[in-house]
């Protein structure tokens, strides 16, 4: 076991990494295992978690493009840019860029089938959706989730800026206030060049401080 997700006496959940080679996919698998085996019921199907902002990582967006390009009718030459424009929400304030999944006027995720209360693209759910546990979390579990999402979104912003440049387009934004996004603010990171969560090591994303809190050498 490379990673353990467990419930604390106060009913919140926590995370412990046992192997320095643990990847984000191991993290997602451990969360999924925890939900399936510990939570009763695993999900009440209320769909409340699909009415929140869903920030995206580069791997989320590349997975949507790879798995759903035809279904989403993405533009062939620049499918990632087409996905970001038609299915996401790009908000820019000064140098800061935020990219999330698009949502309806009422505020539901664009991929939520509201009648049946199910995700219409369950197999390509984003990191935030896959790592959502319907419980309070420890501070370090929360911090891990947010560091993964932030690094992944930084890489997505980098791809958006680079590909817009390559396509000879101005970076498309849905909303902006004195937008001044700059490629230098988005250097390569652990997500760069990766297309699956099994390729990204947790230790390459976490700050040393967080890694020190969540890593416990395994005696197995």
What's the rounded Cα separation, in Å, for the pair 83 and 101?
10
What's the rounded Cα separation, in Å, for the pair 114 and 137?
27
Residue ranges in 99-128 that form contacts with ligand SF4 under rule CB under 6 A: 101, 109, 111-112, 119, 125-126
Residues in the chain: 220
When asked if residue 1 is in the footprint of ligand SF4 (CB under 6 A), the reply is no
The binding track of 135-174 with respect to ligand SF4, each residue x by CB under 6 A or -, is: ----------------------------------------
DSSP per-residue string spanning 114-172: TTTTEETTGGG--HHHHT--SS-B-HHHHHHHHHHHHHHHHHHHHHHHHHHHHTT-PPP
Structure token digits, residue 102: 């698009």
Rounded to a whole number of angstroms, the minimum distance from the CB of residue 125 to ligand SF4 is 5
For residue 41, whether the previous peptide bond is cis, meaning omega lies within 30 degrees of 0, is yes
When asked if residue 50 is in the footprint of ligand SF4 (CB under 6 A), the reply is yes
Rounded to a whole number of angstroms, the minimum distance from the CB of residue 218 to ligand SF4 is 30
Residue recorded with tokens 């304030």: 93
> From the list 14, 25, 32, 47, which residue makes contact with ligand SF4 (rule: CB under 6 A)?
47
When asked if residue 84 is in the footprint of ligand SF4 (CB under 6 A), the reply is no
Question: Within 10 A of 94 (CB to CB), how many other CB atoms are there?
Answer: 12
When asked if residue 31 is in the footprint of ligand SF4 (CB under 6 A), the reply is no
Rounded to a whole number of angstroms, the minimum distance from the CB of residue 68 to ligand SF4 is 11
Rounded to a whole number of angstroms, the minimum distance from the CB of residue 124 to ligand SF4 is 8
What's the rounded Cα separation, in Å, for the pair 197 and 190?
11
When asked if residue 134 is in the footprint of ligand SF4 (CB under 6 A), the reply is yes
Query: Residues in the site for ligand SF4, rule: CB under 6 A?
Result: 43-50, 54, 101, 109, 111-112, 119, 125-126, 129, 134
């Amino acid at each position: 076991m490379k990673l353990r997700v467990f419930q604390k006496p106060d009913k919140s959940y926590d995370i412990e990494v046992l192997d320095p080679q643990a990847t984000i996919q191991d993290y997602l698998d451990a969360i999924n295992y925890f939900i399936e085996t510990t939570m009763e019921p695993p999900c009440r199907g209320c769909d409340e978690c699909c009415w929140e902002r869903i920030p995206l990582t580069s791997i989320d967006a590349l997975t949507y493009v790879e798995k759903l390009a035809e279904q989403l009718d993405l533009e062939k030459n620049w499918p990632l840019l087409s996905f970001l424009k038609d299915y996401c929400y790009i908000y820019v304030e000064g140098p800061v860029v935020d990219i999330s999944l698009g949502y309806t006027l009422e505020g539901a995720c664009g991929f939520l089938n509201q009648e049946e209360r199910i995700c219409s693209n369950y197999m390509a759910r984003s990191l935030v959706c896959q790592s959502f546990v319907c419980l309070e979390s420890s501070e370090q579990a929360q911090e891990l989730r947010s560091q993964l999402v932030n690094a992944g979104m930084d890489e997505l912003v980098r791809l958006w800026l680079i590909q817009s440049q390559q396509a000879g387009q101005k970076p498309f934004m849905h909303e902006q206030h004195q937008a001044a996004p700059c490629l230098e603010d988005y250097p390569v990171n652990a997500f760069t060049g990766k297309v699956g969560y099994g390729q990204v090591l947790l230790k390459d994303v976490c700050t040393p401080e967080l890694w020190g809190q969540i890593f416990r050498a395994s005696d197995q």
